[in-house]
Structure 1
C-alpha cells in the first residue's frame, strides 16, 4: 500500500511531549527560502487572496484510495467462510470439520472487523481537512480529524521536516507544524503543513521543499501573494461542497496524468481508486469554518489576487473524454475479473 496516513486515526501525532533532538535538528527557519528551486503548489490549493490562502490536507490527494481494496478483503473474509459452510453442508461433514469451520468463522470475521475499523479512518469523516493561512493577522487555522480547529500564530509555529513510514516505500517526509507550550519545548498540537502526493522517499525531498517554500513565501515575502497568485492555475473545487464526479475522476487518475497511455494500461487500478474516492466522498461531511474564523478572514470584493476553482482552466480531451474511456475500460476489466474469479462466483457455482 503506497498511501501514507501518518497523523490520521490511530496513527495520530503524539502530543504533550518534549521536542525530540531530531525535530530540533530539522527545524526550518521562516525568514529565509527553503529551496533554490521554484516553489510549487502541488495541486493542493483551494483558494488564494490578499488576506489568506487555503490548502488541502496531506490525506486529500489519496482520499478513498484504499477503500475498495479493504472492501475486497472484507468481502473475502465474509464470503469464504460461507463458501466453506455450503460445501460442508453438501458433504455432511463430521464434528471435527465443523469445529475447524467455526474457528475459521471467528478468525475471518474478526479480521473483517479489524479491516472495517481501518476503513473508518476515511469514511463517514470529512471530505478534507483544510488549512488556512492568514497573512494579515499572522494566524494559521487547521481542521483536526475530529472536526475541531487548531488556531496558532504563524510566527510561533515550530516547523520542521517530519517523517512517516510506508511499508512498500520506507520513510516519507513532510513539513510538520508544532504548536508549542509556553515553555517552548512541549508539543501541544501538531499538523502537517505541506506534503506533496506520491512521495517515494528521500529523493523526493526537493519536491517537498518546493511546496513548503510556496507556503512560506505567501506568509513571509512582501510580494508572496502576487507571486503565488500568478503561479497557481488549478484549484480544488471543494469549498463548501463535495468534489464533483469529474474531479474525483481527475484525482484518481492523477498519478499518471503525464502519461495517458499508462492511464489506459492501468485503468482497472485507477478505476478502483476512482470508485473508492467517489464512494468515500459520498459518506463524508463537508468541513465548515467557524463563524469567528470567517470573520477574521474577510476579504474585499475587488481583491486583485482572489482566485479559486471558478478560475480553473477549461479541461481538454485528456482531462475529460479520455478519462471516461479509461474508467469504462477499467470497470469492464474489473467486472470480468469479478465474474470469473471472485469468491462470489465460487459461492454460487454448482
Structure 2
C-alpha cells in the first residue's frame, strides 16, 4: 500500500500523525534523506532538454496553451481500494461472526453479561478490520472522479488536488523533481524545500509510474517539462505527442471506459508509449490466473465512479486558467485521433463493446469460482459447495424458475 497512498493523506485523520491510518510517506517536515519508503533518487533538471521521445501515457485530461491537466498518480489503480475493501470487509465480517458463534457455542447459561461480552467483542473486531480501511476507502468513495494535477504555463503555477480534498498550489520554479525508487515501482516526485534547502515543505507525484526502466519516466517528465519551459515550437511538439484525451473532468467514466483504463495496467507495456495501445498490447497465458482479481478491481472501479462526483477548482484558480476561445492548441475542442470512443460511431459498435465487457466480466467471475472450487476440493473432510454451480445458477437465471 505504500505506493497507493504515496505522499497523500487520506480524508480522515484521528491523530496528528497516524501512520497506521495513513500508510505511505509522511514527508512534510522531514529532511528528504529521512523520508521512508524511497530507496533511491535520480535528480531531474528542469532547465535541461532531454533527448527522448515525448510520452503522455494517456494521462492528459485537458490541454491548451494556458494549462495542461493530467490525472493523479493512482488513477490507473482506481477501484483497487474499493475492490480489496470489499474482499477484506467480507473476511472481517466472517472472522467476527465465526469468533462470536464459537463463543456462544460454549455459553450454556446465556444472560445479559455474556451478550454484552459478545457485543463488545464484535465491535472490537469491526474496529480492528474497518477503521484503518475507512481512511483508504475515503480516497475512492464519495470523492471526485479524478485527482487532477494542473500545470499553468502562463502563471507558472501547479495545482494539485490531494486525497484529503485540499488543493495545493506550487510555484513551478520552486519545484525540484526526481525519480523515486520505492518498494513496488518508480515514480516522479516534485518537492519544495524550506529555507535550509533540505526540509520538505511539500511533495506530490506525477501521474505516470512504472517498475521497468527510467527512460519512460524521463520521457514523461520531458513531456511535462517541455510544456512548461518550451517556446511555441516546443509547445507544438508537446501537442503533437498527445494522441488521447481522457475526458474525466467533464463526465463520469462509463463502464466501458473503466474496463479500458483497468487493462492499461495489465495487458500493456507501460514503459512503452501507451498513447498507441495497438503497439504496446501484450498478452500472456499467466494473465488468466489473475482474472478473479481483475474482476474484483473492475467492480471496485465502477462502484468508485458511481459514488463520486465532478471535481471543480475554486473560482480564483479558474480565473487564473482562462482559455482563449480561439486557442488552436485546445485539444478538448479538437480531439486527437486516439479518442475514437468520443466520436460518432455506429450503434453496433457500442452494443458489441457492451456485450464483450459483459462476457469478459462473467468469464472472470467463473475463473475465480473455479479456483475457489479447486481449493475447496483439497479439504480432507466435508462437502464444499460448488461456487461454479452457484454462479451458473445465477447467470442462467435458474432462480427465476
Contact kept, 8 Å, 1:237 with 1:309, in 2: the verdict is no
Matched, 1:214 2:240: no
Supply the distance in 2 between the matched residues of 1:194 and 1:341 (Cα, whole angstroms): 39
Query: Aligned equivalents of 2:195 and 2:250: distance in 1?
Result: 35
2:304 maps to 280
Distance 1:51 1:280, change over 3 A: same
SS in 2 for 1:327: helix
C-alpha deviation, 1:259, in angstroms: 3.6
Most deviating of 228-237 and 185-194: 185-194
Hey, what does 1:348 align to over in structure 2?
none
Deviations 1:159-203 (A, max 9, x none): 2223433xxx4xx3221111234554432211113433xx23xx3
How big is the shift at 1:301?
A: 1.7
CA contact (8 A) 1:268 1:327 kept: no
The answer to whether the aligner puts 1:20 opposite 2:33 as a matched pair is yes
Query: Which residue number corresponds to residue 303 of structure 1?
Result: 327
Among residues 197, 203, 208, which one is paired with 1:190 in the alignment? 203
Q: Could you tell me which runs of 5 or more consecutive residues in structure 1 were left unpaired when the two chains were aligned.
A: 346-350
Aligned pair in 2 of structure 1 residues 69, 147: CA closer, same or farther (>3 Å)? Answer: closer
Classify 1:259/1:20 alpha carbon distance in 2 versus 1 (closer, same or farther; 3 Å).
closer
Cα distance change of structure 1 residues 4 and 148 upon mapping to structure 2, 3 Å threshold: closer
Deviation at 1:116, TM superposition (A): 3.9
Partner of 1:37: 52
Is 2:113 aligned against 1:112? no
Give 1:232 deviation, angstroms: 1.0
Does the C-alpha gap of structure 1 residues 84 and 18 become closer, same or farther in structure 2, counting only changes over 3 Å?
A: closer
CA distance in 1, matches of 2:157, 2:134: 37
Larger deviation: 317-326 or 149-158? 317-326
Q: Is the 8 A contact 1:43 1:236 kept in 2?
A: yes
The change in CA–CA distance for 1:64 and 1:82 in structure 2 (over 3 A counts) is same
Residues in 1 aligned to 2:263 and 2:42: alpha-carbon distance in whole angstroms: 34
Q: For 1:122 and 1:190, locate their aligned partners in 2 and report how far apart those are by CA, in whole Å.
A: 21
Answering whether residue 339 of structure 2 is matched by residue 313 of structure 1, we say yes
1:7 counterpart = 2:3: no
| TM-score in terms of structure 2 length | 0.70
Partner of 1:180: 193
Question: Which residue of structure 1 lines up, in the alignment, with residue 74 of structure 2?
Answer: 59
Q: How far apart, in 2, do the equivalents of 1:75 and 1:51 lie?
A: 47
1:140-289 counterparts in 2 under 5 A?
Answer: 140-165=158-183, 169=184, 172-196=185-209, 199-200=210-211, 203-222=212-231, 223-254=233-264, 255-257=266-268, 258-259=281-282, 266-289=290-313
Aligned length: 330
CA RMSD of aligned residues (A): 3.6
Of the three residues 308, 315, 331, the one matched with 2:365 is 331
CA change 1:335–1:104 in 2 (3 A) is farther
* Counterparts of 2:52 and 2:315, CA distance in 1: 38
Contact preservation (8 Å) 1:235, 1:309: no
Distance 1:235 1:324, change over 3 A: farther
Q: How far, CA to CA, are the matches of 1:226 and 1:13 in structure 2?
A: 38
Q: 1:118 to 1:294 in 2, by over 3 A?
A: closer
Match of 1:50 among 65, 75, 84: 65
**Which residue is 2:276 aligned to?**
none
**In 2: Cα distance, 1:50 partner to 1:281 partner:** 29
Moved more, 103-112 or 150-159: 103-112
Which of 136, 141, 146 lines up with 1:123 in the alignment? 141
Partner Cα separation in structure 1 for residue 177 and residue 103 of structure 2: 60
* Contact 1:46 1:54 survives alignment (8 Å): yes
Shift in Å, 1:266: 4.3
Alpha-carbon shift at residue 130 of structure 1 (Å): 0.5
> Does the Cα contact within 8 Å between 1:252 and 1:271 map onto a contact in 2?
no
Instruction: Return the offset for 1:274.
Output: 1.0
Segments of 5+ residues of structure 2 without an aligned counterpart are 10-21, 269-280, 342-348, 374-384, 392-401
For CA contacts below 8 A with separation 6 or more, give which structure has more relative contact order.
Answer: 1
